[in-house]
Amino acid sequence: MTSLVGLFRAVARPSFLKTFPRSEAKITVAMRGIMTQQNLPHLPVPPLKKTLDKYLRTVKPLITDEEFKITSNVVAKFGAPGGVGEKLQSLLEKRAKSTTNWFADWWLNGAYLEFRSPVTVYSSPGLVFPLQNFKSSDERLTYAAKMIAGALDYKKKLDEDAIPVEKLGKDPLDMSQYYKVFGTCRMPGLTKDTLHFADPNNPPRHIIVSHKNHFYKLIVYDDNNNILSWGKLLQQLNEIIQSAGEPGPPIGVLTAENRNVWGKAFKKLSEDRENMESLDIIKNSLFLLCLDGPNPDLGNLNFQTRAALQTVHGNGSEANSGNRWFDKTVQFIVGDKGEVGLTYEHSPAEGPPIAFLMDHIVNYIEKAPSDVAGGKSPKPEKLKFNISGKVQKVLETAKENVDKLVDDLEMSCFTLKAYGKEFIKSQRMSPDSYIQMAIQFAFYRIHNEPGAHYETASTRKYLDGRTEVIRSCSLESVAFAKTMLGSKSNEEKVKALQEAVTGHKQYTIEAVNGFGVDRHLLGLKLIAIENGMDIPTLFMDTAYIRSSHMRISTSQVSGKCDSFMCYGPLVVDGYGCCYNPLPNEINFGTSAYKSCPDTNAEKFRQALEKSFIEMHDALVSVQKSKL
């Protein structure tokens, strides 16, 4: 992954109201819900001194004392009265006054639309739903039909403005991401991508089903705009399965290519009228549903890991990576053995709206009426692609490249069965902070040094808010890991854990309120660039580089059901670690790159499990001693 995405990782998106017409006559019911959120507060620009002090604290565990002296001088000079920091701060404050969110557009462009590496593995997460055990093709197709109906039911609720406003504590969160999931598509460009949103005045009435690398248009509403019953959707899916024939060329792997390469190929592909029509139908569809084929032999990986790989990349050009259109915001995936979930293109939304969608679908499937089949349903239409010699050449390279990506990604996914967030709460600790400290501890256990550690915090309490970084590596987290690994008493271990958790929770509160370090510093850097100024030394300093090289990239994405999100590491020598804390267990999706000799996802998973158990045992033992 490039350093650019390292700088930008997390997400932002365009101002919703810039994308859609403001005229009242054109505003749909759902958009009115968004309009009422216009009075959400604006993302603040933190005071410079506060950020610089916090920054110094966060870099200390990652650099030597000698380096820290140099960094302290660099920071002092940057923040000195009348210095460059003050100048940049006032420019940033000016920007904040003239925008709804001073960071949002920078983020959308820098982290996503100008990011040229493949979205597959590097940017688009997978979300694994509760795993299934399909005993027949009929069972699988029934699940797929209900999945489509459940997604459409959720969209209906959005259209009716019936999805409750998400809250963080008492604060309502910006809901606009929820409305950007259906009908959205990332369009490849030659040097920068764009986002296509469905026209709210002429909303899409179709989805795309992919099977054996073929793409089918499926009308999912009747003439009165009622959602087709799952029985009728099932008829259409059956027709696709029966008529698909031989697998087509895996044209979908083009969407897993480097974005410049895909942008160029897209232009070539669009020169053909039939191709243009097919591309438009995909672009304008509500979402994709991928009916996958078999996978290659994946050895002795557990089912959770298999499903994770299937959702993140589809296991290569000979398996299911060509049965995708990675530009589409949401692609539901139904594997032949019961690997079910989705992958989503990250630029329009963070994980939580996607996890809400999943919970709705899972609930819908469980409660769907037993049979509503009968009557005629519209015929699926197979999309045509004419592949010229030039595009064929790009396709051959795209196949090789996606296969390399697939070969390089190691995942190890698991459920920590021993305990979940209820136990942690019973210890009067924040479950999220506790989990973060277990991750820090696991890294330290393996590498004998701390790792710069990114956790996503939502800043959606602000208008157009996206994310801030919680820097989970701290002086307290390192002290805690050392205490756990040393020959200390359980009392000392528990005390170190409590201090580390408290420190992390404090940073979390500051981050969700927009007072982290990373977005502010990046804003100061970008405003310098925008104004043609030199990039300040602070951004070239060892401390900045090391503390931004996020060796551990983590997120909590909590779903109510037995699910987890997963993604690739942020840096070549890093780990990805996403988790869903359930009441009595915790699901994890962890990853590493095989090409890096220093990291190993399976080892990380083992270290993580061991860390959780040792933390638990120390707590229980101290508790018992007090009885």
Residues carrying an active site annotation: 346
Q: Give least dist CB 102 to ligand COA, A.
A: 19
Nearer Cβ to ligand COA (321/458): 458
Helices vs strands, H then E, count in the chain? 21, 18
Nearer Cβ to ligand COA (321/456): 456
Q: With contact defined as beta carbons under 8 Å apart, do 547 and 75 qualify?
A: no
617 alpha-carbon distance from chain centroid? 33
Q: Is the dihedral of CA 85, 89, 90, 95 positive or negative?
A: positive
Nearer Cβ to ligand COA (289/429): 429
For the chain, how long is the longest CA-to-CA vector? 78
Q: Give least dist CB 504 to ligand COA, A.
A: 9
Nearer Cβ to ligand COA (176/467): 467
* Cα gap 195→265, rounded to integer Å: 18
- Picking from 79, 186, 63, the residue whose alpha carbon sits closest to that of residue 545 is 63
Structure token digits, residue 109: 């462009």
Per CB under 6 A, residues contacting ligand COA are 168, 350-352, 425, 428-432, 456-458, 467, 508, 512, 555-557
Strands 330-334 and 381-382: unpaired
Nearer Cβ to ligand COA (412/467): 467
CB 164: neighbour CB atoms within 10 A?
A: 9
Q: Give least dist CB 533 to ligand COA, A.
A: 32
* Cα gap 35→179, rounded to integer Å: 12
Q: Give least dist CB 432 to ligand COA, A.
A: 3
Q: Give least dist CB 412 to ligand COA, A.
A: 20
CA angle 138, 141, 145 (to 5 degrees): 135
Q: With contact defined as beta carbons under 8 Å apart, do 303 and 333 qualify?
A: no
Alpha helices, DSSP H, located in 409-489: 421-426, 431-447, 475-485
Q: With contact defined as beta carbons under 8 Å apart, do 464 and 174 qualify?
A: yes
Q: Give least dist CB 508 to ligand COA, A.
A: 5
Q: Give least dist CB 502 to ligand COA, A.
A: 9
Nearer Cβ to ligand COA (75/409): 409
Angle between helix 490-512 and 431-447 (nearest 10): 120
Name the phi and psi angles at 91, rounded to 5. Answer: -65, -40
Nearer Cβ to ligand COA (211/461): 461
Q: Residue 54 to residues 47, 429, 470, 477, 501: CA-CA distances in angstroms?
A: 11, 23, 12, 15, 17
